[in-house]
Amino acid sequence: MIRVLIADESRQVTDNISRRLALEEDIEVCGTAGEGEYAVQQSLWLKPDIAIVDAALPGLDGVQTTVMLAQALPATGVIMMSMEAENDAYRQAMVAGAREFLQKPFKGDDLVAAVRRVHAFGERRNVSAARAISATAASPAASDDGVAVAPMRQRTRGVVTAVISGKGGVGKTVVAINLAAALGEKHHGEVVLVDLSLQFGDIAAALNLPTTHSITDLVSDSGITDADAVRQVLASGPAGISVLLAPTSPELADYVQPAHITSLVETLRGAFEHIVLDTPSYLNDATISSFEVADHIVMLTDLSVTGVKNARLTRSALETLNIDPSKVVVVANHRESAGELDRRGAETFLGAHISTEIPFAADVVATSVNKGVPFVISHPTSPPSVAINAVVELIDPVSQSGSDTAPDGESSDKKKKTRRKLSFSR
């Protein structure tokens, strides 16, 4: 049974919420309060699973009440409700420790769904804590007879690849999707694709994925650092990859702070072998955070004058940020059959070597995008797929060790020399 406490100054509101929750067989209202101090007192006495708290409580307001509940009763999940729809109200609620935010008036079904989500999160957190305690107890430093016991094998930290571009429209998201899918076919179930184009992410549309959950479900630190909670909001993508989608509306992007991205990536490192970050085509604090945590940076450009110019500016920005240049792989995506710079001229202007070129194949790419299927799956032997797999070989140790032939047909010795020169490691 999910036990709920309701805190709202309006008796009518508490009665309405109580009546709606009473319709659910597994939810009961264990108490009500009309002011903040009494809500805290009641919670300490009743220890509810969920506290539904109004932001405008008299005395201690909703934010202050939530802070006290989070400190005194961390097992009680808080749902804050408010008449305000502004970003500040949502931000304050989440910073205080609320797990959900509902704007008044809300539908009864939305309230019930929020109660169930918060309760489910609490249950997952309890299970995770129990597993951690059990694992610690089951792995002593030595056995009873004094013989040392080998510690449990630790998972190898996942490899993070950020896909970036200096301008939009060069195919960055398509490349990120296909890169993740190609990795997924080699490491089934061990690859996650993260849409960090927080304002206008396209991965959900490109892969025809439902937008039930997104990164904004994890904005509280407890969600970001909880691997089980993160897995609950991941969508299932092609080739066995998992996908963390961007917010469903642009105004929600501000809720994801640089610290969230850093913590999220660290959590994903412990759960997946490869993490692919699709970043926006502009620099902000969140984008810079993704650069700093990445093991590899795939910088995509087309061979237009503006594309190469912006790629050069992006390289300069990376240098200013002291990003290790050995992390950066430059990839040229041919989007047009004519009107492009030649590779040598582009490299001269860019001041960097282009590691891989993705050939122009409008029919392959367009069909792939329209059907929501990566072309490395729908057209595995096509020239664009071969090029994507060449990038995979640069960032994936398994692919490197398992391949004897270079993408251009040259000897494996030359490829090994190229890899040593690029030094794709921290």
Q: What is the CATH number of the domain that holds 194?
A: 3.40.50.300
Tell me, yes or no, whether 317 and 410 share the same domain. yes
The strand order across the sheet containing 354-358 reads: 235-236, 242-244, 191-195, 274-278, 159-165, 296-301, 328-333, 354-358
Express each pLDDT in 102-136 by its tens digit: 888 999 999 999 999 888 877 766 654 454 445 44
Tell me, yes or no, whether 103 and 176 share the same domain. no
**Residue 127 within any structural domain of the chain:** no
**Residue 313 within any structural domain of the chain:** yes
Tell me, yes or no, whether 116 and 200 share the same domain. no
Peptide bond into 151 cis (omega under 30): no
Express each pLDDT in 82-94 by its tens digit: 887 665 666 667 7
Closest CA to 204 of 162, 168, 167, 237: 237
**Residue 140 within any structural domain of the chain:** no
Closest CA to 328 of 368, 297, 371, 352: 297
**Residue 100 within any structural domain of the chain:** yes
* Residue-range definition of the domain harbouring residue 48: 2-122
Residue with tokens 């929501």: 372
Q: Which of 122, 145, 174 is the last residue of a domain?
A: 122
Give the bridge partners for 191, in sequence order.
Answer: 274
Give the bridge partners for 101, in sequence order.
Answer: 80
- The reported pTM is 0.65
Express each pLDDT in 318-327 by its tens digit: 888 888 889 9
**Residue 153 within any structural domain of the chain:** no
Tell me, yes or no, whether 194 and 245 share the same domain. yes
- Judged on CB neighbours under 10 Å (0-12, 13-18, 19+), 20 is middle
Distance, first Cα to last Cα, the chain:
50
Express each pLDDT in 244-286 by its tens digit: 999 888 877 877 888 888 889 999 999 999 999 999 988 777 7
Tell me, yes or no, whether 173 and 245 share the same domain. yes
Query: 120 is written with which tokens?
Result: 């489910």
- What is the average pLDDT across 302-320? 88
Tell me, yes or no, whether 104 and 191 share the same domain. no
Q: Which of 68, 99, 122 is the last residue of a domain?
A: 122
Tell me, yes or no, whether 76 and 218 share the same domain. no
**Residue 138 within any structural domain of the chain:** no
Please give the pLDDT value at position 143. Answer: 40
Tell me, yes or no, whether 191 and 239 share the same domain. yes
**Residue 142 within any structural domain of the chain:** no
* Cβ count within 10 A of residue 36: 24
**Residue 187 within any structural domain of the chain:** yes
- What residue type is assigned to position 94 of the chain? M
